[in-house]
Amino acid sequence: MASVSARNGRLYFDFRYQGVRCREYTALEDTRANRKRMQSLLDKILAEITLGTFDYAEQFPGSPKARQFSRVGLPSSGSTPQLRDFAARWAEHKTIEWRQSYRESVGNILETHVLPALGHLPVGEIDRDAVLGFRAALATKASGQPRAPATINKIVGILQTILDEAAAQYGFVNPCTAIKRLKVRKHDIHPFTMDEVGLLIATARPDYTDYFTVRLLTGLRSGEVHGLRWRHIDLIRRQILVRETYSHGRTEYTKTDGSQRNVDMSGPVFRTLSERAARCNDQADPDGYVFASRSGQPVDNKNFCNRVWYPLLRHLELAQRRPYQMRHTAATLWLASGENPEWIAKQLGHTSTEMLFKTYSRYVPNLTRQDGSAFERVLAGCGLSTARAGGVA
């Protein structure tokens, strides 16, 4: 809300213009008459902003913000390139920084959403109204179904990044800067209990018993376990070295630098991988995948979900949930065992415990443990630490 306020006995204007909060100080003392005078001027300023006729430099010629908002010296709409051309040059310059999967994601967002709607406009002509209209149009898919707020934020985020660069080059204010991200609804996690973990491992197809043991007891993501190679299994130090991820038909660097980590093996995981290594000829090839199809390729996530994961849940009459809940399961079991949150965060690839507490707060019984020993005792109590791993695909 715009207002007339005082600081150190002097009055100042406090209002927003083009999405930017502006404070303009005066030499007027804080008196009733001066407040009335300034409020009248503020009402005039707000009316001009609404009508689009407000000239910041004319009203506040000595203000540092006057130059920022001044139309003098800014390029005309015809002197800035179309968004389509600028985005192509921007992407070409940024490609060296991106993973292949991210390059494809950005390209898809540009070609599917951003360029069809705004590509014909000069970057200097894209204003707040155009961005808000674009965002509103994204709310509904072509099928008529609503689009997730997180997806909308991602699309608008790409546009904002492009306009950030354009604004820096051509000297205008990025209209995306003051547009707030949509609120993303928080979803509850649905991890399995320890009894359900034992049931899943015991009931899974023999060629997937090892796979379920590793996923449920390590917190690895789908891409991380599918891209896991034998050269990243350290049986001497009892660690899984997370260095790559498998996604969109290729194995590449992990999602972030923070995802690069060494995951300690619990007893069941160590025995499972040791026995699997002894049985698998692929171990002779360090580049061979730990969990592979008969052709030697990584597990296909879609095929796994449709033919293994969801049928198993239906067979056991367990609530349907995404395979990612296996990662949540490992985290909650560690927490329930009393493991130290910092150790758990490292196992999951979190840079701090903030996300851990935010996601799993109701699963934190105490903060006393600092290694994996408490989890081992829970596994032993459920008979998992002595159970032998199943067959291999």
Q: Which of 135, 94, 100, 103 is nearest to 118 (CA)?
A: 135
Asked if residue 36 and residue 154 are part of one domain, the reply reads no
Instruction: Let me know whether 212 and 162 are in one domain.
Output: no
At 31, list the tokens. Answer: 């008196």
Whether residue 306 is predicted with pLDDT greater than 80 in this model: the reply is yes
Q: Picking from 16-25, 93-102, 305-314, 340-349, which range would have the lowest pLDDT averaged per residue?
A: 16-25
Quote the strand ranges of the chain, DSSP E.
3-7, 10-17, 20-29, 233-234, 239-242, 244-247, 250-253, 261-264
Q: Are residues 233 and 268 in the same domain?
A: yes
For 2-48, write each residue's pLDDT tens digit.
899 998 888 999 988 877 788 898 889 999 999 999 999 999 999 88
pLDDT of residue 281: 60
The verdict on 105 and 64 lying in the same domain is: no
183 assigned to some structural domain: no
Task: Give 211's pLDDT tier (boundaries 50, 70, 90).
Answer: very high
Please give the tally of structural domains in the chain: 3
Q: Of 115-119, 298-302, 375-379, which gets the smallest average pLDDT?
A: 375-379
Whether residues 212 and 345 share a domain: the answer is yes
Q: According to DSSP H, which parts of 10-118 are helical?
A: 32-51, 56-59, 64-69, 83-94, 100-109, 115-118
- In this structure, what token pair is assigned to residue 156? 């608008």
Residue with tokens 């196992």: 347
Range of the domain at 123: 79-170
Is 104 among the domain residues? yes
- 225 and 338 both lie in a single domain: yes
Give the other-Cβ count within 10 Å of 143's Cβ: 7
* pLDDT confidence bin for 275, thresholds 50/70/90: very high
Task: Provide the mean pLDDT of the chain.
Answer: 87
pLDDT level of residue 388 (50, 70, 90 thresholds): low
Please tell me which of 22-31, 147-156, 344-353 the model is most confident about, judged by mean pLDDT. 147-156
In the sheet that holds 261-264, the strands lie side by side as 233-234, 239-242, 261-264
> From CA 124, how far away is CA 117, in angstroms rounded?
15
Instruction: Residue 299: name the closest of 229, 354, 226 by CA.
Output: 226
Do 299 and 216 share a domain, yes or no? yes
**Which of residues 15, 34, 69 is at a domain's end?**
69
Decide which of 69, 100, 127 is a domain's last residue: 69
What pLDDT does 370 receive? 55
Which amino acid is residue 46, in one-letter code?
L
Instruction: Give the separation between CA 173 and CA 160, rounded to whole angstroms.
Output: 11
Cα separation of 375 and 372, whole Å? 6
Co-location of 40 and 84 in the same domain: no
Residues 148 and 252 in one domain: no
189 in a structural domain: no
User: What tens digit of pLDDT does each residue of 40-83 get?
Assistant: 999 999 988 888 788 888 888 877 777 666 544 444 444 789 99
Q: Are residues 272 and 148 in the same domain?
A: no
In the prediction, which pLDDT does 386 show? 54
